[in-house]
Amino acid sequence: MNITVKPQEPKDGVLTAQVTVPAADVDAAIAKTYRDIAHKYQFQGFRRGHVPRPVIDGILGKQAVLAQATNDILNDLEPMVLNELDIVPIGRLEYPEEPDTLSAGIDYMVECHMDVRPSAGLTSYDAPSITMPPDEATDAEIELQINQLLSYQTTYEDAKLERAVEEGDIISVNIDDVGNGGRYAGQNRMISLDGASLPEALRNGLVGMNPGETKDVSWEEGDSTVKLTLTLNSIMKAITPELTDELAKKNFGFETVDELKAAIKEEIEQDKVRSLPGLKEDRLVEAVGKLLDLEEVPENYKNQIFNELANEFLSTLQRQGLTLDTYLGARGVEAKDFLNDLHAQADERARQSLALDALASHLDIAVSDDDVRAEFGKARVDDVDAAIDEWTSGGRIPAIRESIRRTKALSWLVENAEVEIVDEVGERAAAGKKPAKKKSAPKKAAGKKPAKKKDSSKEQPEEPPAE
C-alpha cells in the first residue's frame, strides 16, 4: 500500500497528519475483506470462499462490509505512518471516533493524531566536563579492597555496654515471628544499624532498646500485618585483625602482604578496563541531561519511561524466580518508596533521552539503511532481511533509528568531553564517607536458607531482611 502522509507542526505535544490511501489500494482492501468473509463464513448454497458480493451484501449488509474494510485498513496504516514520518510516538495513533467509511474507486483520506515528545534544546551544545577515576589502581582503592577482605575476617563480641541501642550500633537480637514475619525471624541475629534498609517500624523498635529488653513491634506490609517479638541480647563490637604476612598467607594464599596488594592492584585495573568506558558514558549522559532546556517533561512521556523501567525490572525478577513482593520484603523496602524511586529514575531517564535527541538534532546526525542493517547484525539475528521486514511491518524501525541517533550523539560526547582524573575513593576516604552502593536488579533469590548453628562471635552483621 502506497500512502501519502502530510504532517502538521506539533501543537501542545500532539502531531496531526493527513493520510491518503490511493483508490487502487482502497479497492484492494475492500476486495480482501469480501474474500475474508467468504472464507470465514458458510453461506448456504455456496462453497466456502466462492460467495458473490451481492449475496454477502444481502446477508451482512454492504455498509457492514465496508466498515470492516475501513477498520482493517486503519489498523494497517499505523506502522506505515510511523515509518513514513520516522517517529516514535507516545502511545498509539488515534483516529476520529467515527471515521469516514471506504468507498470503492475513491482515494481514502483520514486524519490521525499522536502524542509526541517535545522538541527541546540544550543550554549549551559543548561537550560537558566530567570527572573520572584513573585507569590505574590508586592506593586508596587498594586499601578499600583490603579493608573489605579483612571485614570477612572480622569477629564480633559483646561490648559490655549498659546503654540503649543507637543508630550505627551492631547488635545481637532474637527475633520471633508472631505473624507474617518469618523472613525476619532468627536467634542471635547480628544486625548493623548503620543506615541499611530496614522497615521503619523494625528500626524504630530496635533503636532505644536495652540489653535484655523484650519488645513487640508490628507494621503493615502489603495486605498483611507483620508482628515480631524482639529480645536484645547485647550491643556488639567488631574485632578486625591486622593484615600481616602470616594472615595474607593463611587466609588469602599469598606469601606476603605486598604480593596480596599486587594481586588486588591487578584485579582492580582489569575491572577498570571493563567498567570505565560504561561509567564514562553514564556520567556524560547524566551531565547532558542537566543541560536540557525544558522546564517540565510531559507527564505522558515520563509515564511511558516509567512503564518501560517497571517492565524491565519485573522481567528481571521473573527470570530469577522472584515476585516483587518477595524482593521488596527481603530488603525491607516499602512499595511506595520503591515506586517513588522508580518514578524519579523515569523522570531522569526521560530528560536524558530528550537531551540526547536535542544533541543529535543539533549535530544533524543521520542514520542510513546500512546503519540499521548493522544494528541488526550486532544483535546476531539469523536473517537480517527477515528481521528488518518484521520490524518494518510493525512500525518499529523508527525506534531503531532513534536508538542509533542517540548512540552516535553519545559517541560524540565521549570523543569531545573534557575529563578530569580524580582519585574519588581517596577523596571519599579523606572526607570520611563510605563508597556509594550501586543500585541494581536482584542477583539471586532473596529468601534466607536455614542457617547452621554458628559461634555468634564470628558472624557478620546482617541487614535484615538481607539475602
Domain count, the chain: 3
Q: Are residues 231 and 298 in the same domain?
A: no
Q: Which residue is associated with the grid cell 536455614?
A: 450
What is the pLDDT, as a whole number, of residue 339?
A: 93
Closest CA to 401 of 392, 414, 390: 392
Residue 31: pLDDT band (50, 70, 90) is: very high
pLDDT tens digits along 245-270: 999 999 999 999 999 999 999 999 99
Q: Are residues 52 and 187 in the same domain?
A: no
Q: Are residues 226 and 292 in the same domain?
A: no
pTM: 0.76
Q: Are residues 161 and 219 in the same domain?
A: yes
Is residue 195 situated within a structural domain? Answer: yes
Is residue 146 situated within a structural domain? Answer: no
What is the pLDDT, as a whole number, of residue 465?
A: 41
Last-in-domain residue among 92, 116, 140: 116
Is residue 150 situated within a structural domain? Answer: no
What is the pLDDT, as a whole number, of residue 446?
A: 32
pLDDT tens digits along 308-334: 999 999 999 999 998 998 888 777 788
Q: Give the max Cα distance, the chain.
A: 98
Helices 257-289 and 335-362, packing angle to 10 deg: 70
> For position 202, which CATH number holds?
3.10.50.30
Give the residue numbers spanning the domain of 24. 4-116
> Which residues partner with 5 through β-bridges?
19
What is the pLDDT, as a whole number, of residue 366?
A: 94
Phi, psi of 80 (to 5 degrees): -70, -40
Q: Which residue is associated with the grid cell 496531526?
A: 16
Q: Are residues 225 and 168 in the same domain?
A: yes
Would you say residue 459 has pLDDT above 70? no
Q: Are residues 412 and 454 in the same domain?
A: no
pLDDT tens digits along 117-141: 988 999 999 999 999 999 999 999 9
C-alpha distance from residue 248 to each of 141, 144, 150, 402 (Å): 18, 16, 10, 52
> For position 308, which CATH number holds?
1.10.3120.10
> For position 71, which CATH number holds?
3.30.70.1050
- Counting beta carbons within 10 angstroms of the beta carbon of residue 199, is it exposed (0 to 12), middle (13 to 18) or buried (19 or more)? buried
Is residue 19 situated within a structural domain? Answer: yes
Q: Are residues 215 and 308 in the same domain?
A: no
What is the pLDDT, as a whole number, of residue 331?
A: 78
